[in-house]
Amino acid sequence: MNISTLGSTVRPYQSYVYAYPHKTAYRPLADRPALRELWAAEPKDALSLYLHIPFCEVRCGFCNLFTRIGAPEGLVTAYLDALERQAGAVREALGEDARFAAAAFGGGTPTFLEAAELELLCDIAEKGMGADLAAVPLSVEASPATATADRLAVLAGRGTTRLSLGVQSFVDAEARSAVRPQRRADVEAALGRIRDAGIPVLNIDLIYGIDGQTEDSWRRSLDAALAWRPEELYLYPLYVRPLTGLGRKEAREPEAEWAAEAEWDERRLRLYRSGRDQLLAHGYEQVSMRMFRAQGAPATSGEDYACQTDGMVGLGCGARSYTSALHYSFDYAVDMREIRGIIDDFVSRPAADFARAEHGRRMTGDEARRRHLLQSVLQAEGMDPAGYRARFGTDPAEDFPVELARFAARGWLDPDAAPGRLRLSPEGLAHSDALGPELFSPAVRAAMAAYDLK
């Protein structure tokens, strides 16, 4: 059954495009290319560094991230040891001219690590990889239960500029519905500790579309978040993905599923617009469909780093790395048993095993064009085609005439944008999760469709 469309109406919530191509389009690399060769001709003066921690205290019902619940005794230490071995191999492959313009710790939940372990993680980034965490933007993800004063003190002391707290809802019943056991009182206490730590940028993640959520309860969650005057807010639509807690639900007949999906889409769009308008009324700037930034808030990404063109170096078994010719990572899974196996394999590897790429997808000129267009146009400011022309020697309208004409016909492009600028309309931003997938190449679509979920 294909529910990407319901009748003649495009479904607004198809896929959250945070990276292209998606990991489900990656495949084992038979030649296991050496990282030294992959990075030899790459620009390395403004790289992004990402360290992945695949542990959480609980797994939320909507989560399909590469993470496991808890860690047996000794596993965190073994994982950090493996990260250190990987850092040595990767830095040697990059060479002495590599410079980092931004850094991030993600997961999982990086603050699952205890304070002393977070110090070790920062040491791996600085001493192992050569990233100056005090000089570049450093973003760290956290959960309310793990945002303890001692952990936050370490992060603040090591130069963290942004702390992103996954709250999802300030309404306890909604948190339980999303299989995220937490109490609002504990969330508020964590937010107080974050403010006390003095980290410059606080981001709060919220989710709309939770079962039982109403426009009134959504407004109350937003009001509760706004009371902390966060520099950033991310509003995420709820997705129910295969192999997640919420994904294990009773199957419906096709007709019933179509009706339920259509109603859910309508409700999520209504909540999105309500949340967007509420944040705009409070003086927030819309950066993308999901991201809203307070006026005057500090920048949270390196000014020298551009995600469309610059490389990313990922450490950890769930991290991606990007070169112009290849995107690569380790194997990907959602099922807990599969994840545990991949982590166990990662921590047992000798340093030499980290000097080659094992899973990935090679980037053709067409794929690079699609990635550049996707990561530019999904930002509220849109794209100046001059940068695209300078990189590829062609114009987006020449390369994607059918897609851009379709978007314009649907009212997704802003007719009042500056001459030559490609920018989404408010409705185009609202439909980012439909627009993005329409720019996937046929080859990537086929690879994603053929991926065996595990």
Residues 207-227: tens digit of each pLDDT: 999 989 999 999 999 999 999
Residues 7-46: tens digit of each pLDDT: 347 899 998 888 899 999 999 999 999 999 999 999 999 9
Residue 449, number of CB atoms within 10 A of its CB: 9
The sign of the torsion formed by the CA atoms of 397, 290, 268, 67 equals positive
| Interstrand relation of 284-286 and 9-10 (parallel, antiparallel or unpaired) | unpaired
* Rounded Cα distance, 129 and 151, in Å: 22
* DSSP annotation string for 86-135: HHHHHHHHH-TT--EEEEEEEES-GGGS-HHHHHHHHHIIIIIT---TTT
* Rounded Cα distance, 214 and 233, in Å: 19
Contact call for residues 170 and 221 (beta carbons, < 8 A): yes
Residue 331 half-sphere exposure toward CB, CA atoms < 13 A? 17
* Rounded Cα distance, 428 and 403, in Å: 13
Which of 335, 349, 361, 323 has its CA nearest to residue 450?
Answer: 361
Residues 396-446: tens digit of each pLDDT: 999 999 999 999 999 999 999 998 899 999 999 999 999 999 999 999 999
Task: Supply the pLDDT for residue 64.
Answer: 59
With a CB cutoff of 8 Å and minimum separation 6, the contacts of 310 are 43, 46, 47, 48, 101
Task: Supply the pLDDT for residue 205.
Answer: 96
Per-residue pLDDT at 163 exceeds 90: yes
* Rounded Cα distance, 362 and 322, in Å: 10
Entry pTM? 0.92
5 pLDDT band (50/70/90 cuts)?
A: very low
* Rounded Cα distance, 40 and 34, in Å: 10
* Token couple for 163: 């702390």
* Rounded Cα distance, 319 and 329, in Å: 6
* Rounded Cα distance, 292 and 284, in Å: 6
| Interstrand relation of 5-6 and 68-69 (parallel, antiparallel or unpaired) | unpaired
> Angle, to 10 degrees, between the axis of helix 75-94 and the axis of helix 336-347?
60
With a CB cutoff of 8 Å and minimum separation 6, the contacts of 447 are 21, 24, 25, 27, 361
| Interstrand relation of 291-294 and 320-322 (parallel, antiparallel or unpaired) | unpaired
250 pLDDT band (50/70/90 cuts)?
A: very low
* Token couple for 414: 């802003």
What's the one-letter identity of residue 190?
A: A
* Rounded Cα distance, 194 and 197, in Å: 5
- Which of 243-252, 290-299, 392-401 bottoms out in mean pLDDT, i.e. has the lowest? 243-252
How much is the average pLDDT of 179-196?
Answer: 93
Per-residue pLDDT at 62 exceeds 60: no
Q: What are phi and psi of 22, to 5 degrees?
A: -70, 155
